[in-house]
């Protein structure tokens, strides 16, 4: 039996890892090679990503593969969306990229809408309005006379920039481009009017590639560093959520998915973009998927709320599973927050932000980590119900179940709350959905699978799933009414 080995780089907004995925006789196995933090660097009044540190970690993982004598079939990289790197005329990176949490985009949407109206931007792109979308980052940089943007010959999104550092090839992968609010989903190209309004041209971005396309091979320099040969680098679904959705082990289209991590991304998979007045009013997004699909979804603030609180708590257990369990000792349905309130985007103190929200809305204020964690979990479950209700209004098919992927699926209390809140079965797994989707798209590029159905069949046979069924309908219905009375944002 022949084993094919794939090297997956999966970078999130707080941490990253490299994974070795192997397929033998129709079964997928995976092994984490390295795990490392992804720090936001604060300096000069801005927040940056350390792209060189991320590159170093990729090289470190590749060196481990070489030391073990493993023959790689290919390499693939997925990351979070919207952020990008500016490349100069000499081919060098001009500066570490801004983080989407940088405050320089405050007010950028409103300023851009003076150039092109909001309704026209949505009609062109079908993308959810968030002030950190690439279009508004670029607009802010243009307005501020940013020196890196002014000198940029190429603008590469994060996975494409790392691929460039490995291969020297400048590309623009479809799924990561679709997060930028510069892509027309009908033409699958950058809209010239949207970027032209801020002085940019389509040729300043890399050549277009789709998930499963081979970009190039490791450069001579990287081969020397890693002691590997000219291993192909494949454009997987560069946006981590697109790779994660590719790994959903669904048997038909009648499902919604929730990628539950730092962000919660809740949506459906469709053949065509859904762009109409209702999707505009609900602020839904149409992002690229694999094999011509569209990920129609809404971004919801996720475990970022808990992660930030844990950094502040001095009396809470270090183990997150213990925190999750002890949260269930707190009084249920005591207080709720809207997870997507702007105050929770990047506050100085998340604890104080949550307490302030509850105080301002006339609710009991969470005083300890148990009450606060329970407030977060219940609020997320109720927000999922609200957004699923919007999806049901817009979906071209009935939604019968929710597939949850990502690290949040390991929290059994949140998963049970979600099933009870939605009054719908919740199926969890795979936990490492993003890495698995990354690996399976490399497998498709290698000819091991022919389509998404074969991919998902292998995944379903290779993982263990758990099902949560609804409970306590009356209590959750009452809680949802209180939640909608307390919060107003769509």
* Residue at token pair 């479809």: 174
- DSSP-derived secondary structure for 159-214: HHHHHHHHHS--EEEHHHHTTTT-EETTTTEE-HHHHHTTT--GGGBPEEE-TTEE
Cβ atoms of 177 and 288 within 8 Å: the answer is yes
Tokens standing for 72? 């790689």
> DSSP 3-state assignment of 489?
coil
Our answer to whether residue 340 is catalytic in this structure is no
Residues 45 and 375: their CA atoms lie apart, in Å, by 32
Assign 3-state DSSP to the chain and report helix, strand, coil percentages, each to 5: 40, 25, 35
Report CA torsion sign: 412, 418, 423, 425. Answer: negative
Q: Judge residue 117's burial from the number of C-beta atoms within 10 Å of its C-beta, 0-12 exposed, 13-18 middle, 19 or more buried.
A: exposed
Helix (H) or strand (E) holding 377: helix 369-394
- What's the CA gap between 357 and 351, in Å, rounded? 10
CB 198 within 8 A of CB 137: no
Token match 């990351």: residue?
79
d(CA 313, CA 373): 11
Name the active-site residue from 240, 341, 368, 472. 240
Indicate which residues carry an active-site annotation: 240
């Amino acid at each position: 039996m022949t084993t094919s080995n794939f090297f997956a780089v999966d970078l999130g907004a707080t941490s990253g890892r490299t994974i070795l995925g192997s397929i033998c006789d129709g079964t997928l196995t995976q092994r984490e090679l390295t795990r490392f933090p992804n720090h936001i660097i604060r300096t000069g009044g801005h927040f940056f990503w350390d792209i060189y540190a991320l590159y170093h970690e990729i090289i470190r993982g590749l060196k481990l593969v070489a030391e073990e004598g493993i023959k790689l079939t290919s390499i693939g990289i997925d990351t979070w969306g919207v952020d990008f790197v500016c490349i100069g005329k000499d081919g060098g990176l001009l500066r570490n990229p801004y983080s989407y949490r940088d405050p320089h985009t405050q007010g950028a949407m409103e300023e851009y809408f003076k150039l092109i109206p909001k309704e026209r931007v949505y009609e062109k792109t079908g993308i959810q309005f968030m002030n950190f979308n690439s279009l508004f980052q670029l607009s802010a940089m243009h307005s501020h006379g940013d020196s890196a943007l002014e000198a940029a010959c190429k603008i590469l999104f994060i996975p494409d920039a790392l691929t460039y550092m490995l291969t020297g090839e400048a590309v623009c992968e479809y799924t990561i481009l679709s997060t930028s609010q510069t892509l027309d989903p009908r033409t699958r190209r950058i809209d010239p009017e949207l970027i032209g309004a801020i002085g940019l041209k389509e040729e300043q971005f890399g050549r277009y590639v789709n998930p499963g396309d081979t970009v190039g091979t490791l450069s001579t320099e990287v081969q020397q560093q890693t002691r590997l040969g000219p291993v192909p680098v494949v454009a997987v679904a560069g946006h981590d959520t697109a790779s994660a959705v590719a790994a959903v082990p669904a048997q038909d289209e009648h499902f919604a998915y929730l990628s539950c991590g730092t962000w919660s991304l809740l949506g459906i998979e469709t053949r065509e973009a859904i762009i109409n007045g209702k999707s505009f009013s609900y602020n839904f997004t149409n992002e690229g998927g694999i094999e011509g699909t569209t990920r129609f979804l809404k971004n919801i603030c996720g475990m970022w709320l808990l992660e930030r609180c844990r950094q502040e708590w001095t009396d809470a257990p270090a183990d997150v599973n213990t925190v999750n369990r002890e949260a269930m000792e707190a009084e249920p349905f005591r207080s709720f927050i809207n997870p997507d309130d702007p105050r929770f985007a990047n506050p100085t103190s998340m604890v104080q932000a949550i307490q302030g929200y509850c105080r301002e809305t006339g609710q009991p204020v969470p005083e300890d980590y148990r009450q606060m964690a329970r407030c977060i979990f219940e609020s997320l479950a109720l927000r999922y119900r609200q957004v699923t209700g919007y999806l049901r209004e817009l979906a071209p098919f009935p939604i019968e179940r929710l597939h949850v992927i990502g690290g949040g699926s390991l929290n059994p209390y949140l998963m049970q709350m979600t099933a009870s809140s939605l009054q719908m079965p919740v199926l969890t797994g795979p936990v490492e959905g993003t890495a698995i989707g990354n690996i399976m798209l490399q497998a498709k590029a290698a000819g091991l699978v022919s389509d998404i159905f074969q991919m998902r069949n292998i995944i379903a046979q290779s993982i263990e799933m758990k099902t949560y069924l609804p409970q306590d309908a009356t209590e959750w219905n009452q809680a949802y009414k209180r939640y909608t009375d307390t919060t107003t944002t769509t």
